[in-house]
Amino acid sequence: MKQLMSIAILEVGGPPENLASRYPSYGIMIEDALKGVSSDLSFSTIRIWKGQPLPEATCFSGYVVTASAIGVNDDVPWVKPLLDFIRTALGQERPCVGICFGHQAIAQAVGGSVSRTAQGWGIGRHTYHIINRQDCMINTQSTISLGASHQDQVTQQPPGSVLLAKSNFTPIAALFYEKFKAITFQGHPEYPDNYLKDLYESRRGKAFDDQQCESAIKSLKMIPNDSQIVRQWIVDFLRQNIT
């Protein structure tokens, strides 16, 4: 019988209250996205943002850190312990994947910096130019396009990291860590487009204006979604780095 790779999803956020009854948790979104690529992964979701304790770093084969409405610089009780845990897990050679907040948290945990974007919210389908490739990145296209929803981003690349992708809006859009076993993405390969649309609508007139919201929603229809490619990268990264 094939042995399953045990992956802990460190869930640090979820759909806003007005969408929570219509959409699954972020942990389930990630599980569904990655199980759609591979059947040799076993998932456990740990709801850090709801007070569930962090595990011992050696309890799981690998970790995925989810998106969150919280920023890594916010004064929230679970953020510092999570950053400490990330450093410990990487030191124990447990591969880590970061998405959006997770991308930022892993960078900050190992010496990078995160701050609010000067140009405001990043929403809609963003296209990132691939700068470097790793073994897990099997396709040959020169760009990837993913849905985005963020105010913060990595502004200083951590020592020992390799820039994988960038855009004018997000100069540090994806990172690979040579010293540690980690790969991270600012964009969202786990969010379905209908959720992104409703997420933008829920923030219309609050976080951004009507024109920004309409433009973001239009881009979801006009620009092809490369989520499936990035999901495959993540699964192949985990396969290559879990011992």
**Tokens 């450093």 identify what position?**
87
pLDDT tens string 34-88: 999 988 899 999 999 999 999 999 999 999 999 999 999 999 999 999 999 999 9
Q: Which residues contact 124 (CB under 8 A, 6 or more apart)?
A: 147, 148, 200, 215, 216, 217, 218, 219, 220
Q: Does residue 54 contact residue 46 with C-beta atoms inside 8 Å?
A: yes
Q: Identify whether 126 is a catalytic site residue.
A: no
Q: Identify whether 56 is a catalytic site residue.
A: no
Report helix, strand or coil for 168.
Answer: coil
Sign of CA dihedral 63, 117, 151, 131: negative
Q: Identify whether 129 is a catalytic site residue.
A: no
Encoded amino acid at 93, one letter:
E
Which of 96, 100, 126, 150 is the catalytic position?
Answer: 100
Which of 11, 31, 190, 213 is the catalytic position?
Answer: 190
Which of 103, 126, 150, 188 is the catalytic position?
Answer: 188
pLDDT recorded at residue 66: 98
Q: Profile the chain (243 residues) by mean pLDDT over runs of 10 residues.
A: 81 97 98 92 96 97 98 97 98 97 98 94 98 92 96 96 98 95 98 98 95 98 97 96 86
Superfamily of domain 5-119+129-191+225-241: Class I glutamine amidotransferase (GATase) domain (3.40.50.880)
Range list of β-strands (E), 94-142 = 96-99, 113-116, 122-130
